[in-house]
Amino acid sequence: MHARSTALDDPIHGAFYRKVMGDPTKEGVTSKKGKYPVCLRCHAPNAAIRKTTKLDAKPAFREGVNCVFCHTITAFKGTEKPDGKLRLGQAAYEVSKTALQAPSGRNYSTLPESEDETPVSKPFHPFPMEGGSAIVFRTNAVCMGCHDRRKNFHGVPLCATGDEIKESNSQVTCQSCHMPMVDGHASHSMAGGHDGNMVRRAIAVELDVRDAGDNLSAEVRVRNLLPHKFPTGAPFRVAYLKLAAYDADGKLLWQNFKTHPLKDDSQAALVYTLGDKSGKPTMPPKATQVLGDSRLKPHEVRRLEYAIPKAGVKVVKAEVFYNLLLPKLNKKLDKVLTPELKAPTLAATAEVRL
């Protein structure tokens, strides 16, 4: 998603950007307050460094969060300025204009120290490389400029992965999960919500079913295995529990919701809800208040209880699904979304046979 992070290549971000800011192929686009579009500081950092908004002017702008942007970071300044205001994305980093930065701790622009080391620097590295940035690249600092937190124009918090990790007191780095070692190198796939395989690593579900007279009493425990929330990040992600009871032939006898848990079973929806002044749910750019946050906190175990009519039930099944977008947004953006972006991912499942 880093390689597709601009409005030209990510259909979801593109739809929001065009609505809130404007045309990503035009120069001079500003926010409603007349400021340079803050989105570009994270979604198109190389364009933000040049203060341009015409993202098709150079490959480096369109490439979004590309190799050169990350690998010229020399230091993380923090996302909060001394006056309390936020500095985000590219503005939160010090960036070298002369040398690529490597996580190795080894400086490739100098010759090897001992004779048995292969002299890689001259023939294979046409660019000057500095290896002194290990502490930035091996810690959360390299991610935090863009992933720490963000507020909308009304000061309402949107994404806050960094704050979540801080609260969890976890010392595990982002890289250990998002950049696992593959074939001896740190993988740059940076999987997240767009990758079903990654989503399936986020949670575990347990299910207990007890006899309780005419009913079955079911307890579902959804365990967040992560040091950030589930779901984390973009405020319109949603996960939900589907609990269903079947007879011996697999016929559905009972289910915890009819259309969507957001409508019929709010305890089963893990979601961040933003609202307008009158308390009605609204989209992130327009929100003036937080109405609720039922996402799993870092490492939280959520217990959900249900009474299921017992007659004929042979199998009870709990499934947790994950969607990139709330149902309303899925409908609204129908035309720009591929089927994969709309489809729910099965994140975890548990089954009891009676």
Residues making contact with ligand HEC (CB under 6 A): 1-2, 5, 10, 12-13, 16-17, 20, 38-39, 41-43, 45, 65-67, 69-71, 88-89, 103, 137-138, 140, 142-143, 145-147, 150, 159, 161-162, 165, 172, 174-179, 185-186, 188, 190, 192-195, 198-199, 201-202, 226-228, 230-234, 237, 324
Kindly report whether the peptide bond that precedes residue 231 is cis, defined as omega within 30 degrees of 0: yes
CA separation for the pair 285, 52 (Å, rounded): 22
Shortest Cβ 119–ligand HEC spacing (Å): 18
Shortest Cβ 146–ligand HEC spacing (Å): 3
Concatenate the DSSP letters of all residues of 53-92 into one string.
Answer: --TTS-HHHHT-S-HHHHTTEEEE--SB-TTS-B--GGGG
Residue with Cβ nearer ligand HEC (45 or 261): 45
Shortest Cβ 151–ligand HEC spacing (Å): 9
Residue with Cβ nearer ligand HEC (226 or 269): 226
Residue with Cβ nearer ligand HEC (2 or 314): 2
CA separation for the pair 317, 353 (Å, rounded): 9
* CB atoms closer than 10 angstroms to residue 86: 15
Question: Encoding tokens for residue 98?
Answer: 């002369």
Shortest Cβ 4–ligand HEC spacing (Å): 6
Shortest Cβ 352–ligand HEC spacing (Å): 25
Shortest Cβ 215–ligand HEC spacing (Å): 33
Do strands 269-275 and 185-186 pair parallel, antiparallel, or not at all (unpaired)? unpaired
**Burial tier of 147 (Cβ tally within 10 Å: 0-12, 13-18, 19+):** buried
Shortest Cβ 8–ligand HEC spacing (Å): 11
Residue with Cβ nearer ligand HEC (154 or 210): 154
Residue with Cβ nearer ligand HEC (180 or 312): 180
Residue with Cβ nearer ligand HEC (285 or 352): 285
Cβ atoms 40, 46 nearer than 8 A:
no
Residue with Cβ nearer ligand HEC (16 or 246): 16
Residue with Cβ nearer ligand HEC (184 or 250): 184
Cβ atoms 237, 341 nearer than 8 A:
no
DSSP 3-state assignment of 300? coil
Shortest Cβ 152–ligand HEC spacing (Å): 8
Contacts of 162 (CB under 8 A, 6+ apart): 79, 140, 144, 147, 148, 149
Alpha-carbon Rg for the chain, nearest whole angstrom, is: 24
**Burial tier of 74 (Cβ tally within 10 Å: 0-12, 13-18, 19+):** middle
**Burial tier of 40 (Cβ tally within 10 Å: 0-12, 13-18, 19+):** buried
Shortest Cβ 129–ligand HEC spacing (Å): 10
Residue with Cβ nearer ligand HEC (34 or 213): 34
